[in-house]
Amino acid sequence: MNYFDCVDKMYYISDPNPPLVAWDAEKKRIISLIETTSMDAVSFLPSHLGMVKADISGLAKKKKDWKIEILEQDEVKEITFEDSYRIRVPNEHWDSFCSMFDNVPENNSYLNLNSLLNETMEEEMKDLRRELRVALANLYDESEFEKLEESASTWRWRFGVTGYSTRSKVSAPVTYENRRKDIQNLYDRLVKFYGEDRGNLEMLIEALKNKDPLNTFNIFKNYDYLYGTRMHSKYHGVRLYFECLVDTNYHTTETIYSPDDDLMGKISEESQEVKVVRHVIYPKGGVFTPRFLRLLSDTIEDLDSEEE
């Protein structure tokens, strides 16, 4: 039996020459078990280059320079990295194996793995940056942000929108009206700031996934809110300004501003769901209910008809 026959289970060859061969199902690689030592010897094939590179990159994280010994046999070279790693390379695949390193390995020499480590760490950072993009997109799909979009859509349907002043009036990195573009811009800024800082990048990704408060991170310290909109409307001649915001602790707030004194007086008399302070309407429950928005539109229409 040769090692190409070793699939799914771990089989052993009793013949001591060559050394024992097995299929490690957990690590998805061919290994040669050396009887005289507890160290496993990985059998190299070009198709295993990525897995072998990951193994050797693990050594590089421990230290840069490793003394190697090369035992040349008829058909293979057996390379030992001190007492930590052993690999058997068929002669026909030697060039492929050496392609991982800046210099061709030589017997009883020191091999510097720094370039391999840098390459591996950059790949890991690329993976983290991709993970950040997914985590950020997923965050803005969470229920708090979906509810804001529902509230904004309801307002637009009932009162219409003549414009927005979110960017100039609200301290938030992402706005409802420019959601996709703003999320991309926020991602670019986070990558620019944290893209080479593995520790902070990992903590940021974890915070996004767990919906932890984000104002501990420098980029978010500049903002009072994570998401929001400030809409301008004009309904039956009455100017209205609707704000809906999600803060850095994921709390949602809504307010309506109108300079119309008659409207403020009527709303104070007719609704127990809200509190009116000068020209601003605050919902007692944090967000406006569809029932209140109907009352608001009906009140504005009644005031308009009274003027006629």
DSSP, collapsed to helix, strand or coil, labels residue 40 as strand
So what's the pLDDT on residue 118? 67
So what's the pLDDT on residue 8? 35
Mark 91-116 as b/e (b = at least 16 C-beta within 10 Å).
eebbebbeebeeeebeeeeebebeeb
Whole-angstrom Cα distance, residue 298 to residue 272? 16
Q: What is the pTM of this model?
A: 0.65
Answer for the pair 220, 189: CB distance below 8 angstroms, yes or no: no
So what's the pLDDT on residue 216? 87
Whole-angstrom Cα distance, residue 142 to residue 223? 19
So what's the pLDDT on residue 120? 66
Domain spans in the chain, listed from the N-terminal domain onward: 3-112, 124-307
DSSP state letter for 44: P
Answer for the pair 239, 259: CB distance below 8 angstroms, yes or no: yes
So what's the pLDDT on residue 13? 32
H or E segment to which residue 165 belongs: none
* Short-list 54, 186, 172, CA closest to 120: 54
The single residue listed with the structure tokens 């090692």 is: 3
So what's the pLDDT on residue 112? 72
**Dihedral sign computed on CA atoms, order 97, 103, 104, 110:** negative
Whole-angstrom Cα distance, residue 194 to residue 208? 14
Residues 6+ apart with CB under 8 A from 112: 64, 65, 102, 103
Whole-angstrom Cα distance, residue 176 to residue 221? 20
Answer for the pair 66, 105: CB distance below 8 angstroms, yes or no: no
Answer for the pair 226, 248: CB distance below 8 angstroms, yes or no: yes
pLDDT in 10s for each residue of the chain, 308 residues: 443 344 333 333 333 344 433 444 444 443 443 333 456 677 888 777 777 777 777 777 788 787 878 888 888 888 888 888 888 888 888 887 777 777 777 788 777 777 766 666 677 788 889 999 999 999 999 999 999 999 999 999 999 999 999 999 999 999 999 999 999 999 999 999 987 787 888 999 999 999 999 988 989 998 999 999 999 999 999 999 999 999 999 999 999 999 999 999 999 999 999 999 999 999 998 899 999 999 999 999 998 787 65
* Short-list 252, 225, 253, 239, CA closest to 166: 225
So what's the pLDDT on residue 31? 41
So what's the pLDDT on residue 239? 96
DSSP state letter for 17: S
